């Protein structure tokens, strides 16, 4: 049986969800009474999950993760090439960052994070491993702070559902992509009651497709062979 709750320490983890002033013209979001574990902020009818802090960082590195999520298949399915530039948005502890870096020795990996504790952890691991083609980047609530037209693939693994400002972050990622660049969302399957994750930490293909399409991205590849997650690759329309 998979874990009943999720302790995800990601890019979204310290973003504040506060209702902006009217001047912000924040028409994409709706604010209601929060449900249990929710923020009360809705995007296309989906309540954004309450953020998790860095106290759950050990959960990202748990020994059971490769079997539970088939993380090797997730990386393999990215179809990485040696010279690619990859952005790991919500890099957390660098679980995927450092695995990806081994497969793009002539490229680069941006590890984008927002929490000081995790940024320190990423920099320490980078120094210890001598992985010099990893660049740790401090993101903020509405931008991934990456240079324009530099990224071949941006990945968000179990991150998207917690983004306080998904529209703004996807737009920011889109600006960073090269022509033909893609965004990968890996999210727990909301359609499957056998995936024992809190409901707000799961999403459906229909919901993800709707939200991404509204931001100019359509599904380019869908892989449904993972034990508990969706693998959805998006490209610009």
pLDDT digits (tens, 9 = 90+) for 14-64: 444 444 443 345 689 999 999 998 999 999 999 999 876 677 788 888 899
**Distance (Å, rounded) from C-alpha 229 to C-alpha 237?**
24
Domains assigned to the chain: 11-236 (3.40.50.150)
Using an 8 Å Cβ cutoff, are 75 and 103 in contact?
yes
Is the Cα dihedral 115, 90, 102, 66 positive or negative?
positive
Element at 130 (helix H, strand E): none
For residue 149, give both structure tokens: 């037209």
pLDDT digits (tens, 9 = 90+) for 69-86: 999 999 999 999 999 999
Residue 13: phi and psi, rounded to 5, are: -65, -25
How many C-beta atoms surround the C-beta of residue 145 within 10 A? Answer: 14
Complete DSSP assignment for 189-219: ETT-TTS-S-GGGEE-HHHHHHHHHHTTEEE
- Global pTM reads 0.90
């Amino acid at each position: 049986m998979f874990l009943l709750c999720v302790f995800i320490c990601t890019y979204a983890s310290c973003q504040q969800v506060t209702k902006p002033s009217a001047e912000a013209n924040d028409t994409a979001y709706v604010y209601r009474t929060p449900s249990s574990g929710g923020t009360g902020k809705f995007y296309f009818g989906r309540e954004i999950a309450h953020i998790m802090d860095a106290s759950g960082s050990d959960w990202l590195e748990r020994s059971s993760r490769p079997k539970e999520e088939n993380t090797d298949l997730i990386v393999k399915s990215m179809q990485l090439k040696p010279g690619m530039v990859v952005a790991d948005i919500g890099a957390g502890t660098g679980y995927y960052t450092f695995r990806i870096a081994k497969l793009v020795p002539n490229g680069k990996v941006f590890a984008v994070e927002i929490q000081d504790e995790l940024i320190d952890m990423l920099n320490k691991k980078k120094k210890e491993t001598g992985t010099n083609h990893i660049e740790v980047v401090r993101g903020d609530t509405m931008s991934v702070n990456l240079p324009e037209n530099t990224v071949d693939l941006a990945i968000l693994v179990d991150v998207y559902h917690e983004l306080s400002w998904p529209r703004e972050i996807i737009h920011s990622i889109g600006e960073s992509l090269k022509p033909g660049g893609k965004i990968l969302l890996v999210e727990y399957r909301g359609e499957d009651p056998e995936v024992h994750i809190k409901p707000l930490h799961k999403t459906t293909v229909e919901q993800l497709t709707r939200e991404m399409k509204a931001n100019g991205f359509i599904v380019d590849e869908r892989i449904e062979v993972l034990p508990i997650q969706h693998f959805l690759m998006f490209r610009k329309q």
